[in-house]
């Protein structure tokens, strides 16, 4: 029976049906495996997300999610796989999809578990709910406006005005009465512009057009009051709609901001003044954010550090910090951020800045948290202390030079003349007179105790540099490890124990005379450094980088044979010849015996007067004994012996301990061995009298007029051992 229904249900291929439903669904439909990889996607998926299906197959489903949701999505997917269930549309979740062009749109998603060939899959149906969201937002806005209208009407301190579409006033609040001066009865039914004479930031027609288009407008306007005054108001206007959605009235609320505008103008003026202070401050000013990056800087910072501001903004503040402090600086910054506080100038810290060219300079820094700013900003005021440091350094240098000048004056009174009339001494004094007026380097040679320092001071007093400092450095009196610091000075922190900056003696002698005593004991590692300083007339302090110019006249002295030391490789030949520009050799006392009586009377008078004694007589036998003794310690030994003699003498006659002296043999058979034997016996006798004490006050070296190092050297040379005198 053709055309008739057989009564049996028509069989439909379920696979074909699924494919049709899948392909022509108005929603995007995807099949995803448990790892989140897309297995199938329909045509609507391409339309909705903008990706061809071929691009999606095998890709993670997170590709269709905005970036902010991707990291957490695998966790939700794993949770769903643990408990698979059908989740219908409208589950109350705020979900978004991501199109290929990067735009986002709101979606609702239905999830349903599938089992295909024992493989668990998930069917996801994605619905674009953009239109629904827009409709909801419009409803929310309408509700909001209705609530605002109700609330605004209750605000007595604001001016609330309702106008019809012909611009006639239909409502006038109590706040409007207070602000504008007109009572409600005076304005109802009147045209609004006839009363308020509104000045808009743009044309009134433009405001109306915006209101009709957006149903809302806000901005600042100027209104005229009943008394003729002017007030600035922040005005908000809402176009009210009737039940049919047609414009019905204009709801307006005006907030008087006249005082605020005046305050803003004052603040703006203050800000301009502060900006001027910021820009033209004599100090560098920098603002950093909470991460220590430079957010702003003034012109003086460019001048101090040599950078353009454009180079600095966004850079870490450590770019202005010397390399050696950079590693620790972030921690200090972090500590400050944890406990921000104002830190004024002069906090006692040794701080340095680093210029673009790599040079460093001393600074002082004031820090303060920037209140009222986001991100915990910090204001730093940086003061360049370079000139101040130079002034302080010059002052310290001047003060210390004055101390040396005072010492020179005191010493000058003690030795206002060199005692002696021998031809040997006269030759030396003639050399001193010849060389003093020049700037030539003088090398004074002679045994210990012959008066080398006295000759050096005489050269200084006779030179054009007499009004400047005479500074002495004894190379044998200072440990070799400290000698470089004494010579050149050091910067604070240059080595352990360097707690403050130290000006070296070479620098203190600037414009004056530098006396380098016992130069033969100068350590080998310092010899090239002093040579360079002399040749280049400049040096650096230990631990410093700044080159310091120096102008000194060098006088050196030694009791050692520098020529032999050069031959033995113990002294640099170039330094030796640099020192030996004008050598002056002082004769030992034994070669100027005719000067001994003059020296004896001079020292006797000096020490007697100092000790309050009146010793005026010296027996001929005593004087002869003094003249005959060889005085291995030279003038220093003679002076110390006479001082000891004055102490031991009572009455007006000098009674020295002549037993200590043994006249040198004048026989033709005398040899160097006899002289050495006599010297050895004399040293042993003094050692026994001193009970073996070599150094210190009253020790053998003191009594012999020798330095401890010199006496030890002689004892070693003469084979004197401790068991010989103890």
Compute the residue count for the chain.
726
pLDDT digits (tens, 9 = 90+) for 477-486: 888 788 999 9
1 domain residue, yes or no:
no
457 in Cβ contact with 408 (< 8 Å): yes
Residue 417, pLDDT score: 61
Highest mean pLDDT among 39-43, 275-279, 330-334, 342-346: 39-43
Q: How many domains does the chain have?
A: 5
What are the pLDDT digits (tens) for 128-154?
A: 999 988 888 888 888 887 677 656 565
Residues 140 and 110 placed together within one structural domain of the fold: no
Residue 599 near residue 629 (C-beta atoms within 8 A): no
What pLDDT score was predicted for residue 415? Answer: 38
Does residue 155 fall inside a structural domain? yes
Tell the residue number behind the tokens 């005719």, with chain if given.
Answer: 594
Task: Select the more confidently predicted residue: 656 or 268.
Answer: 656
State how far Cα 311 lies from the chain centre: 19
Average the pLDDT over each of 7-16, 165-174, 291-300, 581-590 and give the range with the smallest value. Answer: 7-16
Residues 546 and 654 grouped into a single domain? no
394 with 488, same domain: the answer is yes
Which structural domain, as residue segments, surrounds residue 693? 594-725
What does the pLDDT read at residue 289?
Answer: 87
Position 504 pLDDT exceeds 80: yes
pLDDT score, position 10: 58
Looking at the fold, whether 558 and 629 belong to one and the same domain comes out as: no
Residue where a domain stops, chosen among 536, 561, 585 = 585
The answer as to whether 3 is a domain residue is: no
Q: What is residue 412's predicted lDDT score, i.e. its pLDDT?
A: 43
Among 361, 384, 407, the domain boundary falls at 384
Question: With contact defined as beta carbons under 8 Å apart, do 472 and 513 qualify?
Answer: no
Residue 414 binned pLDDT confidence (cut-offs 50, 70, 90):
very low
Look up residue 521 and give its DSSP letter: G
Cβ(53)–Cβ(38) below 8 Å = no
Could you tell me if 398 and 526 lie in one domain? yes
pLDDT at 664: 45
Residue 2 has pLDDT above 50, yes or no: no
CATH number at residue 43: 3.30.450.20
How large is the C-alpha radius of gyration of the chain?
Answer: 51
The closest alpha carbon to 706, from 460, 500, 448, 523, belongs to: 448
pLDDT of amino acid 436: 95
CB 457 within 8 A of CB 411: yes
Whether 365 contacts 348, CB under 8 Å:
no
* Structure confidence by residue, pLDDT tens digits, 75-90: 888 888 888 888 888 7
pLDDT above 70: residue 401 = no
pLDDT at 411: 46
Give the tens place of pLDDT for each residue, 349-390.
Answer: 778 889 999 898 888 888 878 765 555 588 788 888 888 777
Residue 542 lies in a domain: yes
Q: Is residue 515 part of a domain?
A: yes
Flag whether 481 is in a domain: yes
Same domain, 115 and 204: no
- Are 225 and 302 contained in the same domain? no
Is the confidence at residue 402, as pLDDT, over 80?
no
Distance CA 302, CA 282 (A): 12
pLDDT given at position 146 = 66
pLDDT in tens, 306-320: 998 888 898 888 889
The verdict on residue 2 lying in a domain is no
Domain's final residue, options 364, 384, 404:
384
Tell whether 380 and 429 lie within a shared domain.
no
Give the count of beta carbons closer than 10 Å to the beta carbon of residue 45: 23
pLDDT at site 153? 62
Instruction: Name the DSSP class of 494.
Output: S
Structure confidence at residue 568 (pLDDT): 93
CA within 13 Å, CB half, 576:
18
| Spatial strand order in the sheet of 159-164 | 169-172, 159-164, 247-256, 230-241, 216-224
Q: Which pLDDT score, from 0 to 100, does residue 671 have?
A: 47
Mean pLDDT of the chain: 84
Strand partners, 540: 547
Do residues 199 and 342 both lie within one domain?
A: no
Residue 266 lies in a domain: no
CATH number of the domain bearing residue 615 = 1.10.8.60
Torsion (CA) 391, 395, 396, 401 in degrees, nearest 10: 140
Burial class (CB within 10 angstroms; exposed 0-12, middle 13-18, buried 19+) of 126: buried
Segment of 126-140, 184-198, 279-293, 431-445 carrying the highest mean pLDDT? 431-445
CATH number of the domain within which 478 lies: 3.40.50.300
pLDDT 10s digits, 645-671: 999 898 899 999 888 886 544 444 444
Looking at the fold, whether 510 and 542 belong to one and the same domain comes out as: yes
Burial class (CB in 10 A: 0-12, 13-18, 19+), 46: middle
In the structure, what pLDDT confidence band is assigned to residue 291 with cuts at 50, 70 and 90? confident
For residues 56-63, give the mean pLDDT: 92
Specify whether 607 is located in the same domain as 703: yes
Pair type for strands 216-224 and 169-172:
unpaired
The least confident of 249-253, 606-610, 635-639 is 249-253
Q: Which pLDDT score, from 0 to 100, does residue 514 have?
A: 96
Residues 598 and 665 in one domain: yes
Residue 43 is encoded by which pair of tokens?
Answer: 């045509």
Per-residue DSSP letter, 477: T
> Is residue 156 over pLDDT 80?
no
């Amino acid at each position: 029976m053709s055309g008739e229904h057989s009564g049996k249900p028509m069989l439909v291929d379920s696979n074909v049906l699924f494919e049709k439903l899948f392909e022509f669904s108005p929603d995007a439909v995807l099949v995803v495996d448990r790892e989140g990889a897309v297995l199938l996607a329909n045509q609507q998926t391409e339309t909705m997300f903008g990706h061809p299906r071929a691009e999606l197959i095998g890709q993670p489903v997170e590709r269709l999610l905005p970036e902010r949701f991707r990291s957490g999505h695998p966790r939700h997917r794993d949770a769903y796989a643990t408990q698979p269930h059908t989740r219908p549309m409208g589950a109350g979740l705020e979900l978004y999809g991501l199109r290929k062009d990067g735009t986002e749109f709101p979606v609702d998603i239905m999830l349903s578990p599938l089992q295909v060939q024992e493989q668990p899959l998930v069917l996801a149906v994605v619905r674009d709910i953009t239109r629904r969201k827009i409709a909801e937002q419009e409803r929310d806005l309408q509700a909001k406006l209705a609530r605002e209208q109700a609330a605004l009407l209750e605000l007595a301190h604001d001016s609330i005005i309702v106008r019809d579409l012909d611009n006639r006033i239909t409502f006038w609040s109590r706040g409007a009465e207070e602000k504008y001066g007109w009572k409600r009865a005076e304005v109802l039914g009147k045209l609004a512009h006839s009363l308020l004479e509104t000045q808009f930031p743009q044309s009134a027609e433009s405001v109306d057009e915006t209101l009709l288009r957006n149903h809302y407008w806000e901005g600042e306007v100027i209104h005229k009051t009943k008394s003729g005054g002017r007030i600035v108001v922040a005005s908000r206007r809402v176009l009210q709609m009737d039940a049919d959605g047609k414009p019905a009235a204009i709801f307006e609320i005006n907030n008087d901001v006249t005082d605020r505008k005046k305050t803003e103008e004052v603040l703006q003026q203050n800000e301009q003044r502060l900006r001027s202070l910021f820009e033209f401050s004599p100090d560098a000013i920098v603002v950093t954010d909470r991460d220590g990056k430079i957010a702003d800087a003034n012109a003086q910072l460019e001048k101090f550090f040599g950078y353009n501001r454009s180079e600095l903004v966004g850079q870490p503040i450590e770019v202005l910090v010397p390399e050696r402090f950079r590693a620790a600086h972030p921690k200090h910054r972090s500590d400050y951020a944890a406990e921000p506080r104002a830190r004024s100038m002069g906090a006692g810290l040794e701080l340095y800045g680093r210029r673009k060219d790599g040079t460093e300079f001393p600074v002082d820094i004031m820090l303060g948290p920037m209140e009222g700013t986001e991100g915990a900003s910090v204001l730093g005021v940086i003061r360049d202390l370079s000139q101040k440091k130079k002034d302080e350094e010059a002052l310290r240098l001047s003060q210390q030079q004055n101390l040396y000048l005072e010492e020179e004056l005191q010493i000058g009174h003690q030795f206002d003349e060199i005692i002696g009339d021998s031809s040997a001494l006269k030759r030396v004094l003639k050399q001193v007179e010849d060389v003093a007026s020049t700037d030539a380097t003088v090398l004074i040679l002679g045994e210990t105790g012959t008066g080398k320092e006295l000759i050096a001071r005489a050269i200084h007093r006779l030179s054009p540099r007499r009004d400047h400092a005479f500074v002495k450095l004894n190379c044998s009196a200072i440990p070799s490890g400290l000698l470089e610091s004494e010579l050149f000075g050091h910067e604070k922190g240059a080595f352990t124990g360097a707690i403050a900056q130290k000006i070296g003696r070479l620098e203190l002698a600037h414009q004056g005379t530098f006396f380098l005593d016992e130069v033969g004991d100068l350590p080998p590692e310092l010899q090239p450094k002093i040579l360079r300083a002399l040749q280049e007339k400049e040096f650096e302090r230990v631990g410093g980088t700044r080159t310091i110019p120096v102008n000194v006249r060098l006088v050196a002295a030694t009791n050692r044979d520098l020529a032999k030391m050069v031959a033995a490789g113990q002294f640099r030949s170039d330094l030796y010849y640099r020192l030996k520009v004008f050598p002056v050799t002082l004769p030992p006392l034994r070669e100027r015996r005719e000067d001994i009586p003059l020296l004896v009377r001079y020292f006797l008078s000096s020490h007697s007067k100092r000790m309050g004694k009146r010793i005026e007589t010296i027996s001929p036998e005593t004087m002869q004994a003094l003249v005959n003794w060889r005085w291995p310690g030279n003038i220093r030994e003679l002076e110390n012996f006479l001082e000891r003699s004055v102490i031991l003498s009572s009455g007006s006659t000098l009674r020295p301990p002549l037993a200590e002296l043994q006249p040198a043999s004048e026989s033709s058979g005398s040899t160097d061995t006899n002289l050495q034997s006599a010297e050895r016996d004399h040293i042993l006798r003094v050692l026994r009298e001193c009970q073996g004490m070599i150094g210190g006050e009253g020790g053998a070296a003191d009594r012999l007029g020798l330095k401890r190092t010199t006496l030890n050297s002689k004892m070693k040379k003469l084979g004197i051992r401790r068991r010989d005198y103890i």
